[in-house]
Every structure is written in structure tokens, then in C-alpha cells.
């Protein structure tokens, strides 16, 4: 390892190789905060790729972030299928009326044509712009919703649960459509310049469905979908627990796992060590109320428990930091990582 500080790409790749870089990599997964940096409303900010690219550049420079995160908003994929998106002034855009209003409509569902999906073109253009700016020194994290979790936005959780349990034919068709879309969408982002793909799969967490149902259905979806993505994948359960299904996650081909703040990070590190890396696990909701002292103590504790040996990236536990988290807390996280996250880690 060279003695001069690593750039963000080198730092992240070293840690993902289960080796110790110069310091702990930091992924502040900020989306809406870019609107504040550019002086725009959240709706206007996400209307043009130039705005999001500029916001990400400003955020990376301000907080010393080790990645660009050109994730617009979760329901953008449902929007590509024809669904409605509702914007608010101080929170993430949400799914409006589901695109699938009647379960029978699943029978004729087809994946959107990426060439025609203008909302997705904005993301791809943003990634291209960030790639030009990063010049290989900063990882760019693309995002997809897993085929197994996307139906919550496509038709609502209650209807999805019904077909998941009771309607095998429609479930199979829905998964075929979503897997085709997911792999094409992931690979389009990689082609545009994304370094890796964050594969959000909250429905697979045992806090959402029984472990047995995941093993029976969700696991096979994850294995086959991730195999079709032409780049590294990090599976994220969006605050959901993953320890009860850890042995199965290892079979999916994922490179890293986004972990919950509700689980024991020491046990998670021990379970995944030298197999997949862990990303987390600051509590984004609690982060809104952290004092500077609390911020310092939380970050130090997580680093002391999980950073040794590499295979760890400090981040929030949900995959998107709330808009209400103040700048002072974000700056304190960054400063604490730079002071206490240098290797070798001081565990005293």
C-alpha cells in the first residue's frame, strides 16, 4: 500500500478486498440534500440530470464523501412502468396510485422499454456526467429495486402479499417481468459509468416476510437476478434485519450487504468477515436528533466494532439519509471518520 492518502476509489476497493486502507471509507448516501445545496425544491432538483450531478459534486466536496450517489428516488422505477409519483417539500418522493390497480393486469404486464423511459434517461445522463467528473477516482453507485421488492410500489403491499402466497402463476410472471427490467436497468447504469449497483431488497428481510418464504422464493430471485448484472452488487435491506438469513445472502453473489442499526454489528462483522463486506449502520432516523457529542461517540463505536481488517464502509442503515438531518451532524460524521477512522484502528 502506498503511504500517501488513497483516493476514494482506491480506499473503497481496498476495503472491499478485506484489507485495511488508509482510513475507513465513508458513504454518506445523500439524495435530497443536493436540492438544498443547489437552491432548488426537491421536485425541481430531480427534474434535470444536470441539477442532480451538480448536487452530488457539491455534497461530495463538502463532506469528503467516498462515493457519488446518483439515486433520484425510489418510485422512479414504478414511474417508468407508468405509475404516479408524489413530491413533497421536505421528504422523499413517494409512490402515488399504483400502476397495477387490478391483480389481473399482471397478466399483460411488460417491462418498460429503456429507450422510451425518459425518467430513467435522466439518471443515466447524470451518471455519465459524474463519470466524466470522477475520472475513475470516486465510485459511482447505481441503484435498482429488486424484482422481489418492486411489486410493493407496483401494486401495493397487501395485493402483492396475496399473490406471493396464493397466486403462483401471477407471481412467476411478475418476477419474470421485473427480473428482465432490473437486469437491463442495472446494466444500463453500469454502461453509463456506474461502478457498482446497490440492489435494494427490503421485502426479503425477515422483519417483512417469514424467513421460510424468503428461502422458498426471494432467495432464488436474488441469485438469478444478481447473476445477470454485469458488475459488483451490494444488497441493501433498507433498515431491515439480515442476520437471520445471512447464510443465504452469501449464496446470492452479492459483494456487500447494507445492515440494520437494530442488529449487533460485531456479530454481523464476524458472520460476514472475509466473505462479503458490510455497509452501515448509523441510524438515519435517530441521526436527525444527534448532538455533536452523540455523533462523535456513535461513529467511534461503530468504527471500533466493525472496521478492523477492512470489509467495512461506514454509512447509514437505510440507504438514504433523511432530509431533516442537519449539516452540522453530517460534517461531524465526516470529521470523526477522518480523525478516528485511520488505520490501524485504535480500539481503546
What are the pLDDT digits (tens) for 130-184?
A: 999 999 999 999 999 999 999 999 999 999 999 999 999 999 999 999 999 999 9
**Which pLDDT score, from 0 to 100, does residue 1 have?**
43
Nearest to 211 by CA among 242, 255, 177: 242
Q: Over the stretch 243-267, which tens digit does the pLDDT of each residue have?
A: 999 999 999 999 999 999 999 999 9
Exposed, middle or buried, 250 (CB in 10 Å: 0-12/13-18/19+)?
middle
Half-sphere exposure of 263 (CA within 13 A, CB side): 31
- The fraction of the chain above a pLDDT of 90, given in percent, is 98
Please enumerate in sequence order all residues whose Cβ is within 8 A of that of 266, keeping only pairs 6 or more positions apart, or say none: 305, 306
Query: What topology does CATH give the domain 8-340?
Result: TIM Barrel (3.20.20)
At residue 348 the predicted structure's pLDDT band, cuts being 50, 70 and 90, is low
**What is the Cα gyration radius of the chain?**
19
Residue 277 pLDDT more than 60? yes
Residues written for the chain:
348
Q: How confident is the model at residue 4 (pLDDT cuts 50, 70, 90)?
A: confident
pLDDT at 2 over 90: no
3-state secondary structure of 312: strand
What's residue 346's pLDDT?
Answer: 80
Q: Give tens-digit pLDDT for 186-199.
A: 999 999 999 999 99
Question: In the predicted model, what is the mean pLDDT of residues 3-31?
Answer: 95
pLDDT at 168: 96
Q: Give the helix/strand (H/E) hosting 143.
A: strand 141-145
Question: What is the structure's pLDDT at 225?
Answer: 98
What contacts 61, CB < 8 A, 6 or more positions away? none
Q: How confident is the model at residue 94 (pLDDT cuts 50, 70, 90)?
A: very high
> 311-336: per-residue pLDDT in tens?
999 999 999 999 999 999 999 999 99
Could you give the C-alpha distances from 220 to 8, 65, 169, 227, in angstroms and in order?
A: 33, 34, 16, 11
Q: Sort strands 233-236 and 85-86 into parallel, antiparallel or unpaired.
A: unpaired
- Count helices and strands (H / E) in the chain: 16, 9
Residue 92, CA distances (Å) to 51, 86, 181 in order: 16, 9, 23
Q: Which H or E run contains 314?
A: strand 312-316
**How high is the pLDDT of residue 183?**
98
Band the pLDDT of 3: cuts 50, 70, 90.
low
Mean pLDDT, the chain, whole residue set? 96
Per-residue pLDDT, 30: 97
The Cα–Cα gap between 106 and 92 comes to 27
CA dihedral 275, 142, 135, 313 (to 10 degrees): -40
319 to 26, 66, 228: CA distances (angstroms): 13, 15, 23
Bridge partners of 140, per DSSP, are: 68
Amino acid at each position: 500500500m502506498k503511504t500517501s492518502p488513497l483516493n476514494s476509489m482506491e480506499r473503497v476497493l481496498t476495503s472491499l478486498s478485506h484489507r485495511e486502507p488508509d482510513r475507513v471509507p465513508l458513504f454518506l448516501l445523500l439524495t435530497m440534500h443536493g436540492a438544498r445545496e443547489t437552491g432548488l425544491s426537491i421536485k425541481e432538483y430531480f427534474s434535470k440530470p444536470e441539477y442532480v450531478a451538480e448536487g452530488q459534486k457539491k455534497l461530495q466536496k463538502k463532506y469528503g464523501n467516498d462515493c457519488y450517489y446518483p439515486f433520484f428516488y425510489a418510485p422512479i422505477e414504478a414511474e417508468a412502468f407508468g405509475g404516479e409519483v408524489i413530491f413533497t417539500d421536505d421528504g422523499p418522493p413517494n409512490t402515488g396510485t399504483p400502476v397495477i390497480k387490478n391483480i389481473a393486469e399482471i397478466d399483460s404486464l411488460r417491462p418498460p422499454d429503456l429507450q422510451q423511459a425518459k425518467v430513467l434517461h435522466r439518471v443515466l445522463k447524470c451518471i455519465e456526467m459524474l463519470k466524466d467528473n470522477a475520472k475513475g477516482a470516486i465510485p459511482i453507485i447505481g441503484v435498482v429495486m429488486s424484482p422481489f421488492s418492486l411489486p410493493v410500489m407496483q401494486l401495493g403491499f397487501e395485493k402483492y402479499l396475496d399473490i406471493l402466497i396464493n397466486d403462483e402463476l401471477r407471481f412467476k410472471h411478475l418476477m419474470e417481468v421485473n427480473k428482465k427490467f432490473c437486469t437491463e436497468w442495472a446494466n444500463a447504469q453500469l454502461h453509463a459509468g456506474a461502478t457498482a449497483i446497490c440492489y435494494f431488497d427490503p421485502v426479503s428481510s425477515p422483519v417483512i416476510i417469514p424467513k421460510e418464504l424468503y428461502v422458498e422464493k426471494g432467495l432464488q430471485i436474488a441469485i438469478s437476478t444478481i447473476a445477470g448484472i454485469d458488475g459488483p452488487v451490494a444488497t441493501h435491506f433498507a433498515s431491515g434485519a439480515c442476520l437471520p438469513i445471512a447464510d443465504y445472502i452469501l449464496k446470492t453473489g452479492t459483494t456487500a450487504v447494507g445492515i440494520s442499526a437494530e442488529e449487533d454489528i460485531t456479530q454481523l462483522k464476524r458472520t460476514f468477515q472475509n466473505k462479503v463486506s458490510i455497509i452501515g449502520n448509523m441510524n438515519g432516523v435517530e441521526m436527525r436528533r444527534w448532538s455533536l457529542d452523540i455523533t462523535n461517540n456513535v461513529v467511534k463505536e461503530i468504527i471500533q466494532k466493525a472496521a478492523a481488517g477492512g470489509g467495512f464502509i461506514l454509512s447509514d442503515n437505510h440507504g438514504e439519509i433523511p432530509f431533516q438531518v442537519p449539516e452540522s451532524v453530517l460534517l461531524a460524521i465526516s470529521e470523526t471518520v477522518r480523525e478516528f477512522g485511520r488505520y490501524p484502528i485504535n480500539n481503546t
